[in-house]
Structure 1
Amino acid sequence: MKDLPEDFSAWCDREREAGRMADIDRGLLILTRRGQPQTGSEEETLLVLLMVAILSRARRDGHVLIDLDEVQHHPWVLSWKNRLPDPSRWEAILDAHPLVTGPGEGPSPFLYANRCLYFSALYRQESFLARSIRERLSLGAREPDARDQEILRLASGGVEDRRRLLEGALFRPFFLLTGGPGTGKTYTSAEILKVWKILRPEAHLVVATPTGKAARRFREALSLPEVDVLTLHRLLGISPGGASPGEDRPLVQDLVLVDECSMVDLSLMARLFRALSPETSVILVGDPDQLSSVGPGSVFGDLALAMSVEQKTRPEISRSFQVLTRNYRQDSWDDFGRLAEGVRQGDAGTVLEILASGEKSGPIRWIEPRTGAIREIGKTLIEAWLPVVESRSAEEAWEKLGQFALLGAVREGPLGTRTVNRLLRNHFENRSGCTRRFVPVIVTENSVESGFMNGDPGLLEMEGNTAIRAFFQGPGQTMRVASPLLMPAWEEAFALTVHKSQGSEFDHVTVLLGSESNALLSRSLLYTAVTRARKRLTVYASRGVLREALSNAGGRSTGLFQALLATGRKESAPG
């Protein structure tokens, strides 16, 4: 059994202690080393191990691939630069390795294509998804007859842009609907579903979302009980005694509409398309500028960009693609609208100007880290949560629960959500007269049997340090009471990561970024955070941290955009 080279193993230990390498990365390196040929030189061995280490870390950071030209400047490569082969030989070394294959070759853990290294499974998912979407885009649309045209005219109110949107969503097998916060994505989606039912009353429609919270929010907005609204995991998951939907057992719905698509990773989206029958229409809805999924890929952003680029040369693409631009929630020229657009564009001057002009009691407030600032922000947080914690009833607490959100970039560290949750919990536990209180929580795993879904917000009623009852959203506007002992995994939710807040809106949002540089800071994270606020926004961040976030476009290394364009060029080529 071959072990890692001694000096490389020691280096891995140092990187792991520094938090730059995870146990799963090291485990993969050991498996890779065992599969390496005995004849390889030391420099070839080091190159392959380094590429695998970087690829493994990249996957944890949401990337699908590593580019051989870009990876030459990676800190891990630079630290071993003097002991690696010349970059001109890297491609040949990887291509000859027994654990690395090319497209269309036999099974292997890694795949090399277009000067990029992938995990083979992710490459297959990406290729399959690009091909599946292209096949749907190439299918002919059903032409509306006279009755259909009249229904479209009435449903659109005679507005031609609206009529074209509805026609594309109703008669084409694939449709993409994008737009920023407040542009009416949910309203438009609901209208599409309602007109679908008018045109085809017997049609089986389903709405799928990445989280249970998003499913409940959409269900309330839809008010159409004959349309199923459930999580993607539930739609695609294994039911007791049954098999998961797939190519040999496709979904039977006439339409699948997926909301909050920016949160859907590559693997889950590929699994959805693998489960679709050729007769099922698909509508994908989301905001491509929001944070990408937790898992690898930026599927919705890549898809929106590819269709935006291609419709310039292939006008027919525009029939399957619509961008909503009018903001119904905020005037595009008020401070909220200007701030969101400034963040989206990475315009630090505009963002800092708007934040700096905010008044202490105004709708937008900026608190810069300084002496006494943490006490000020702490007081703000306590005052914001006190009405919920000290509510006289669960109904009162629930009504106030959605009014405030405290959002952080990370879970760990001085301003991590775990730390802040612990500090606020301790404060309210020790507060005089606060023995009976309500604590905000969030479910962190799906439990189909008990009806809980990952992301469901709730309340725990506490007597001293004992949770006696749990409250969650029930059907409609009712409240569901549950035993804390029967709940799936959960955590306190005084503070949430920005990722967990996606799909939600709050009257007042406080964003905790502090003054420390962080690899997770990005334009999309800040954009997602500030656009959760409806009426008030408080930002606790240094000028430097804000500039860092705005300068980081936060793109992920994927091949989907290029794969979509490549398949599109093949289809449109003559002959």
Structure 2
Amino acid sequence: MINPNVSGLLEAWVAMGWLRPLDGGFAKFLNTEAPDSSEPVLLMAALLSHQLGRGHICLDLEALLSAPEKTLSLPPEDSVHKEMPAQSPNVLKTISLSQLTHELEASPLISSGPGNTPLVLCSGLLYLRRYWKYTQHVAGHIRRRLSHTDSVPDDLQSRLDTLFKPLKSDDEKSKTQVHWQSVATAIAAKSLFSVISGGPGTGKTTTVVHLLALLQQLSLEKGDKLRIRVAAPTGKAAARLTESLVHTMETFPKNIRDALPREVSTLHRLLGSRPHTRRFVHDSHNPLHVDLLVVDEASMVDLEIMAALLSALPEKARLVLLGDKDQLASVEAGAVLGDICQLGDPTHYGPETAAWIQQHTGYNLSEFQGDGAQLDQHITLLRKNHRFGENSGIGALSRAVNAGDPQAVEDIWQMGFEDIRRLQINSPDDESFTHLILDGHGHSAIPNPKSKTGYRPYLDCVQSGPGSEPEDFWLRAVIENFGAFQLLSPLRKGTWGVKGLNEKTADILFQKGLIRSREGWYPGRPVMITQNDYNLGLMNGDMGILLPVTDKGRDKSTLKAVFPKADGSLKKVLPSRLNHFETAYAMTVHKSQGSEFHHTALVLPDRMTPALTRELLYTAMTRSRAWFTLLGKHNEILWETVKRRTYRASGLGRWLR
């Protein structure tokens, strides 16, 4: 029998705010469906709902019973009820896994998969049926694609050598050093499913553009033309990739260039979103008209969208996922790219794969051989960074963070790298914070005028107006200048959260005469869309700036929100038409994914929270193209963050392997 101390935990935790009303409401709903349900079963249902809200796909029963507080992140960091031993999650340690499993298996609400029960218990993981089906669906689709191998031309090696020759070092040309972009292209050319992972600057976009050129060339030689689509999770990511695609393909012959896509769509637009539903226009009954699909920023794709995407993909279509496996997982539930790449081991190629790669690329991978699963043979990690070289503090710091080595991180700060700095601040009222916001530095003296960023430059551009230049030229200049600097936070609430930092930043800019108001509509206010608006054609994460815009045929300007679009155009919207948005001087690290800035500044809070992980720190610093600043009060917070990894329970990894 389950320990009677579990009785009343559900009601107590909801009352204390440890669980959401939604979690308690879900348990109550199940109780109406099965009135004889025991309290432990209902408690597990509520905890499953709680975990879904935190990005997990399922509730890991063994992890729950062995480390309840860590698994559930209870009590919450902002809870006022922290000293209540009677309601401590640790009471769950008194339950044995066998007892709990027996009680759950006996419930009419739960099955092992078959049937239509609302919950599924499988291999010690408790799922909401919908998410269990997503997991099985994604795993099944990927496994089927892994079993198919396309033939490649006999002269693939010479084609790759010619294609990538301008990008190779002498060692890569002589085959004494592996050119991983060639390896990635070869693997993707023979596979219906492949993954190309690497950090910023490792050449993911360059690789995939050359892959598209190779495959389209092969198809054109056969008198056919591949239907190619490229997509990304957000409008920001789509716009950035569109620019990169167009720039990279300019070196290709005209017939190839004309046969490649020049626009990247969002995943929702690709699938055809149906507002207010979970369904899409394209699905298994109405598949996409595509032979090759590339999805960029795949770490941002949640389980539900990945399931929808795979359903809509024709059986013989090729899928290539691009992304950084070390970044934060998706905002919504799941960590699909992380689950796919969970081996994370550079020595994962089996002998057969290594032999095939040597035959078709000329590169010897004996150093990278291992006993990886079938899935691992379809994954390439790009290891050479073309942006962050030996003299890059950002590169050194990101590697140390990924390694989970606090001492190495601390040592790097002491090495005097010019592109990283750390500011010790006690509050946003510190003068150093004001200087950072204005000019990108923590003090009044600017050591290098070329490195001047902050928010003053773009607001100076706003105040100068279009002058004699065409208005759109000025609008684009403002948007480009704004992208030079971005303040990031892991939190939404509190002094160090996005809300507090946005208010403080607006106050600083107002006091310096750079904006007309601290609130409301004013020229220069940056805004971020927080929910998809299909009527306006604006997606969650799209960034715009309020600016005076002259309408055609009128001399008077009107204040509008100006958004850069993926095709290079500008969308201009009256502020009154915006429904879900927020000021964006500061944004969460999650929201920054898919974006790059000349200089990013991350604010660490003065105490540990569940949001602080090495993946968050890595994601924040790698949004920077040139400079990274870390603001904080306690070094201990940084060290603990480096040691802590993001974990999302899903079970997808085990089903894929």
Decide: shared fold, TM above 0.5.
yes
Q: Does structure 1 conserve the Cα–Cα contact (< 8 Å) formed by 2:515 and 2:524?
A: no
Q: Which moved more, 1:495-504 or 1:231-240?
A: 231-240
1:485 pairs, out of 553, 576, 584, with 576
Instruction: Give how far 1:10 is off.
Output: 4.6
User: In structure 2, what is the equivalent of residue 571 of structure 1?
Assistant: none
Distance between the aligned counterparts of 2:515 and 2:35, measured in 1? 66
Q: Does structure 2 conserve the Cα–Cα contact (< 8 Å) formed by 1:26 and 1:53?
A: yes
Q: Does structure 2 conserve the Cα–Cα contact (< 8 Å) formed by 1:174 and 1:281?
A: yes
Q: Which moved more, 1:513-522 or 1:149-158?
A: 149-158
User: In structure 2, what is the equivalent of residue 527 of structure 1?
Assistant: 618
SS in 2 for 1:507: strand
Distance between the aligned counterparts of 1:467 and 1:522, measured in 2? 44
Distance between the aligned counterparts of 1:96 and 1:111, measured in 2? 12
Change (3 A) 1:99 1:230: same
SS in 1 for 2:211: helix
Instruction: Give how far 1:126 is off.
Output: 1.0
Match status 1:304 vs 2:323: no
Match status 1:457 vs 2:543: yes
Pairing 1:410-449 to 2, within 5 Å after superposition:
410-432=491-513, 434-435=515-516, 437-449=523-535
Distance between the aligned counterparts of 1:302 and 1:83, measured in 2? 28
Instruction: Give how far 1:278 is off.
Output: 0.9
User: In structure 1, what is the equivalent of residue 409 of structure 2?
Assistant: 351
SS in 1 for 2:608: coil
User: In structure 1, what is the equivalent of residue 62 of structure 2?
Assistant: 69
User: In structure 1, what is the equivalent of residue 191 of structure 2?
Assistant: 172
1:36 pairs, out of 29, 34, 37, with 34
SS in 2 for 1:290: coil
Q: Which amino acid aligns with 2:489?
A: G
Instruction: Give how far 1:306 is off.
Output: 4.6
1:110 pairs, out of 107, 110, 119, with 119
SS in 2 for 1:536: strand
Distance between the aligned counterparts of 1:233 and 1:144, measured in 2? 35
Q: Does structure 1 conserve the Cα–Cα contact (< 8 Å) formed by 2:264 and 2:566?
A: no
Distance between the aligned counterparts of 1:472 and 1:502, measured in 2? 18
Instruction: Give how far 1:107 is off.
Output: 0.8
Distance between the aligned counterparts of 1:451 and 1:473, measured in 2? 12
Instruction: Give how far 1:33 is off.
Output: 2.3
Change (3 A) 1:433 1:166: closer
User: In structure 1, what is the equivalent of residue 48 of structure 2?
Assistant: 55
Instruction: Give how far 1:334 is off.
Output: 3.3
User: In structure 2, what is the equivalent of residue 287 of structure 1?
Assistant: 324
SS in 1 for 2:331: coil
User: In structure 2, what is the equivalent of residue 402 of structure 1?
Assistant: 483
User: In structure 2, what is the equivalent of residue 389 of structure 1?
Assistant: 459
User: In structure 1, what is the equivalent of residue 360 of structure 2?
Assistant: none
Flag structure 2 segments of 5+ consecutive residues without an equivalent.
1-5, 75-86, 166-171, 247-256, 351-369, 440-453, 466-474, 517-521, 550-556
Q: Which amino acid aligns with 1:156?
A: F
Match status 1:90 vs 2:83: no
Q: Does structure 1 conserve the Cα–Cα contact (< 8 Å) formed by 2:146 and 2:374?
A: no
User: In structure 1, what is the equivalent of residue 395 of structure 2?
Assistant: 337
Distance between the aligned counterparts of 2:648 and 2:502, measured in 1? 30
Flag structure 1 segments of 5+ consecutive residues without an equivalent.
566-575
User: In structure 1, what is the equivalent of residue 162 of structure 2?
Assistant: 154
Q: Deviations over 1:385-431 (max 9, x none)?
A: 12222322334422311110100001111111111112222343454
Distance between the aligned counterparts of 1:62 and 1:239, measured in 2? 23
User: In structure 2, what is the equivalent of residue 551 of structure 1?
Assistant: 643
TM-score (structure 1 length as normaliser): 0.87
Q: Deviations over 1:267-325 (max 9, x none)?
A: 11111111111111000110100000111111101101258557433687665221100
1:247 pairs, out of 284, 301, 320, with 284
Distance between the aligned counterparts of 2:142 and 2:112, measured in 1? 23
Distance between the aligned counterparts of 1:544 and 1:325, measured in 2? 30
Match status 1:127 vs 2:129: no
Change (3 A) 1:236 1:307: farther
Instruction: Give how far 1:150 is off.
Output: 5.1
Match status 1:234 vs 2:269: yes
TM-score (structure 2 length as normaliser): 0.77
User: In structure 2, what is the equivalent of residue 570 of structure 1?
Assistant: none
Distance between the aligned counterparts of 1:61 and 1:140, measured in 2? 38
SS in 1 for 2:27: helix
Change (3 A) 1:280 1:95: same
Q: Does structure 2 conserve the Cα–Cα contact (< 8 Å) formed by 1:62 and 1:295?
A: yes
Distance between the aligned counterparts of 2:63 and 2:95, measured in 1? 16
Q: Does structure 2 conserve the Cα–Cα contact (< 8 Å) formed by 1:297 and 1:556?
A: yes
Instruction: Give how far 1:524 is off.
Output: 0.1
Q: Which moved more, 1:133-142 or 1:157-166?
A: 157-166
SS in 2 for 1:514: coil
Pairing 1:498-537 to 2, within 5 Å after superposition:
498-537=589-628
Q: Deviations over 1:501-534 (max 9, x none)?
A: 1122211111001312211100100000111112
Q: Does structure 2 conserve the Cα–Cα contact (< 8 Å) formed by 1:438 and 1:462?
A: no
Q: Does structure 2 conserve the Cα–Cα contact (< 8 Å) formed by 1:522 and 1:549?
A: yes
Distance between the aligned counterparts of 1:243 and 1:60, measured in 2? 23
Q: Which amino acid aligns with 1:420?
A: L
Instruction: Give how far 1:243 is off.
Output: 6.0
Match status 1:214 vs 2:214: no
Q: Deviations over 1:451-503 (max 9, x none)?
A: 3222222111279xx98122221465554433223345221110010011112
Distance between the aligned counterparts of 1:365 and 1:320, measured in 2? 38
Q: Which amino acid aligns with 1:229?
A: V
Instruction: Give how far 1:333 is off.
Output: 5.5
Instruction: Give how far 1:67 is off.
Output: 2.0
Instruction: Give how far 1:199 is off.
Output: 2.1
